[in-house]
Amino acid sequence: MHHNSAGFDLSIVIVNWNSAAFLQKCLESIYTNTKGVRFEVVVVDNASRDGCEQMLTTHFPFVRFIQSGSNLGFARANNLAFHVSSGRYVLFLNPDTEVIGSAFERLVGFLNENSQAGIAGPRLLNSDGSIQSSCIRSFPTIVNEAFDSNFLRRKFPRSRWWGISPLFENRQIPSAVDAISGASLMIRRSVFEAVGLFTTSYFMYAEDVDLCFKVRTAGWENFFVPDAAVVHHGGQSTRAQDDGNFSDVVLRESRWRFFQTRKNEVYAFCYRASTMIAAIVRLALLGGAWIASSTEHRNSIRLSCRKWARVLRWSIGLERWVPRNAEEQC
């Protein structure tokens, strides 16, 4: 079914970065479970040279493979794969995912029936089967970024700030949401083209939110489809390269660029200022906790201090984060 080159319903695009072992499991789950849909798979390897090409040649010779000579980042690599794909719908999928049952048919069916839907995303599950709250979110604002903490999310999961209340309502019907996680995001080809593909000025962490924002602004809706489920083993490739809170800084840089692009310079400046204040407050609290704590807790406090010190350095412009080549390509 998936070998027929004409008339694909779905193009599944996967960007690999040092995740070949995950990628193999991901592809096995796709080819085992996805039956009622004509689909193709396109894999881009972001210069990881982890044996990805050999693994595909051996086990999945019919997958379209693109070897990139440099790490293009998430947006550019996905856009590259999009240009060689041909499906009516395109699913952007992380390599560290596994599809459960007929999830992709469900998403395709939903988009077939709902012309107002530009994007559809499944329920994402952690490796242990629990729900991954990052599968949907509200668009970032200064306020919800300033108060974003695991403690507050756990305490007030239904708050409008986070945009995750559909996860806790146990409804099996799709809900319109602000943003769908880029770990598994299905979009109409025509809509993706209409909004100009992924914005490439982010290196990572904001492209999915930005895409959902563009789609919403252009008049379509983004839908969370809870009866489609995908396991997302989560952040593996980023964790492998996290040199002392790299991701904490990149995340804020990406939010700042989002505010610059989608709001204005003043809003972006206020975000930086509020981040600086939040970092100073956290560091003061951690200093107090350090004094009051026993020796065994001090290591985790030290790690938190290091994180917030880097965030503070970023907020006052002392922390450069972006890989050189990505900066030049932006």
Helix, strand, coil shares, percent, the chain, to 5: 50, 20, 35
Please give the Cα distance from 118 to 122 (Å, whole number): 14
- Report DSSP state, residue 2: T
User: For position 64, which CATH number holds?
Assistant: 3.90.550.10
AA letter at 248: D
* Contact (CB, 8 A) for 50 and 20: yes
Residue 3 lies in a domain: no
Render each residue's pLDDT in the chain as its tens digit; 330 residues.
444 445 899 999 999 887 888 999 999 999 999 888 999 999 998 887 788 888 888 989 889 998 888 888 888 999 999 999 999 999 999 999 999 999 999 999 999 999 999 999 999 999 888 888 888 999 999 988 888 777 777 788 788 778 888 888 777 889 999 999 999 999 999 999 999 999 988 767 789 999 999 999 999 999 999 999 999 997 544 444 445 567 788 888 889 999 999 999 999 999 999 999 999 999 999 988 888 877 777 888 888 898 899 999 999 988 776 554 443 333
115's CB contacts (< 8 A; 6+ apart) are: none
Please give the Cα distance from 189 to 111 (Å, whole number): 11
How much is the pTM? 0.86
Residue 246 and residue 107 share a domain: no
Tokens of 271: 């975000």
- The domain boundary residue, chosen from 239, 259, 277: 239
Residue 193 lies in a domain: yes
Residue 307 and residue 190 share a domain: no
Tokens of 28: 């096995």
Cα→Cα distances 3→13, 37, 54, Å: 16, 12, 20
Residue 144 lies in a domain: yes
The secondary structure of 84-150, three-state, reads: HCCCCEEEEECCCEEEECCHHHHHHHHHHHCCCEEEEEEEEECCCCCECHHHEECCCCHHHHHCCCH
Angle at CA 315, nearest 5°, toward 314 and 321? 25
- The domain boundary residue, chosen from 239, 254, 274: 239
Q: Which domain holds residue 221?
A: 10-239
Residue 147 and residue 255 share a domain: no
- The domain boundary residue, chosen from 239, 268, 296: 239
Residue 168 and residue 40 share a domain: yes
Residue 197 and residue 106 share a domain: yes
Residue 36 and residue 63 share a domain: yes
